[in-house]
A and B are shown apart, each in its own frame.
Chain A
Amino acid sequence: MENIFSFSLFIDAFPKLLSRLDITLYIVLIALIFGLLIGSYIALVRLYKMPVLSQLATVYVSFIRGIPILVLLYIVYIGLPVLVEGLFHVNINRWDTLIFVLIAYIVNSSAFLSEIIRSAVAGVEVGQTEAAYAVGMTRWQAFRRIVFPQAIKIALPALGNNIVSLLKDTSLAYTLGVIDIIGVIKAISSNTYRSLEAYAAAAIIFFVLSLLLEQTFKRLEKRLGTKHVVSGQE
């Protein structure tokens, strides 16, 4: 049995993997925060049909959504320094690899999140905006105080799903040499010539994290749901 699956290696793997969990969570958090900011901007550009920008945004979103994250990682890692060198004559080859990884994940999640935000905002009835205008609010006030809070509620389930996929997608960051959870597995397996135990441990860690996220979002939805019902009319 020890030859097939070593429990001691399995147990030993946990502290080693968890010691790098912070990198994984860091990537998720940064990609989420900046992805939401940039994604919101892209969504608004498209919702308000700003000329030129709106077409650019549409192309950006469908392009980014169409390429695998692994390819995007390499394009950013190899392509960005070439682009920056060519445009600004600045050499960024020595930047920390993690920065390239973060940029790739931000770009990726901004495209996906912009679609979620866009459909959520479009899902808020026009009458809500009209009523806000009718009491004398500016566009921005109407958006911030009336439309956005309702859109968040509509977006919540999709947002939760997206964060879970983002979490799992970070497992490709190691390909550029970032030592996250998967990076540690690579190190363990080259030391012990065994990797199944470490991968099994990683599976459990990712599973538990996903479960926690799911539950958090469920609870969040429920809390917002009791506060006000967005859909449906009497």
Chain B
Amino acid sequence: MIEIKDLHKSFGEQEVLKGINLKVEKGEVVVILGPSGSGKTTLLRSLNFLERADKGEITIGNVQVNCKHVTQKKILEIRRNTAMVFQLYNLFKNKTALENIMEGLIVARKMAKEEALKISHYYLEKVGLKERADAYPSQLSGGQQQRVGIARALALNPEVILFDEPTSALDPELVGEVLSVMRKVAKEGRTMIVVTHEISFARDIASRVVFMDGGVIVEQGRPEEVLLRPKEERTKKFLKRILPAADYSI
């Protein structure tokens, strides 16, 4: 279970997160929507301390931290309860696809090599890239890289997988393969928090949609409620702006 209490974060003068409260149950797929600059990516990155929130409390699995007084050791514990899929994939460029998945298992989780190898092969096959095990990231397409990125996250078997706009950097024709892998992952009951602009994914897969604007959560609920019958004016405006385009692409 993940719980975020009163999370605040400023970059200099600008307050990006103005007191976020959010609870995510095990197996939930939470999609965070919102205009750019609404703080959704910052929220996601605060959860594994790639950004350091100024104030608030984060609980992920059995680790609880107060962001004001957090030690390096706590940060490491939190990170070992999470995994992240990045917008720009961020595969380790000096490692093959297979090694990318193994790396965290061996180095951070101290797993024996044979076991890590078995797990890595398993997840590489799961994302449909069994044949590309020995390819370096530079030899893979964007979609393939992102699928390895997802496999890398899955293999760690974390409490939650954080997806930071996983399809935004992809060519349109490659978005589908990544989304279909994400759908598969969601159906397996993994806990996911996804920042995305893919309304179709939110509608079909999310157990809850969270709409953020200006550093606060404006509205949240089941996808059909938030997407089809939004209560808040800001949500309506946002959806009106992006929905036609999203519908068109399906």
**A residues at B contact (CB < 8 Å):** 125, 127-128, 130-138, 141, 145-146, 149-150, 153, 227-230, 232-234
Contact = CB atoms under 8 A, between A and B. Distances in A.
B155 to A, nearest CB: 9
Given A127-B90, A150-B93, A233-B88, A136 B104 contact: yes
11 contacts: A130-B50, A131-B84, A131-B90, A131-B92, A132-B92, A135-B152, A136-B79, A145-B103, A145-B107, A229-B138, A234-B145
A150 B137 CA distance: 13
A150 B83 contact: no
B86 A136 contact: no
A163 B245 CA distance: 58
Contacts of B93: 128, 150, 228-230
Nearest to A141: B107
Interface of B: 48-50, 76, 79-80, 82-84, 86, 88, 90-95, 103-104, 107-109, 136-138, 140-142, 145, 152, 156
Contacts of A131: 84, 86, 90-92
B92 A232 contact: no
B136 A227 contact: yes
Contacts of A127: 86, 88, 90
Given A132-B92, A134-B82, A234-B145, 16 more contacts: A130-B50, A131-B90, A133-B50, A134-B48, A134-B50, A134-B83, A135-B104, A136-B76, A136-B79, A136-B80, A146-B94, A228-B136, A229-B136, A234-B140, A234-B141, A234-B142
B138 A234 contact: yes
B90 A137 contact: no
The binding surface of chain A is classed by DSSP as helix
Contacts of A136: 76, 79-80, 104, 108-109, 156
A111 to B, nearest CB: 28
B79 to A, nearest CB: 5
Contacts of A233: 88
B226 to A, nearest CB: 28
Contacts of B103: 135, 145-146
A228 B94 contact: yes
A233 B137 CA distance: 9
Contacts of A138: 76
Nearest to B156: A135
A133 B92 contact: no
What 4 A-B pairs are tightest by C-beta distance, nearest first? Answer: A135-B104, A136-B108, A131-B90, A229-B138
Most buried by A among B84, B91, B93, B156: B93
Contacts of B90: 125, 127-128, 130-131
Nearest to A230: B93
Contacts of B86: 127, 130-131, 134
A203 B82 CA distance: 61
Contacts of A228: 93-95, 136-138
Nearest to A146: B92
Contact of B79 (A134, A145, A149, A230): A134
Candidate in B95, B104, B152 with the most chain A CB atoms within 10 angstroms? B104
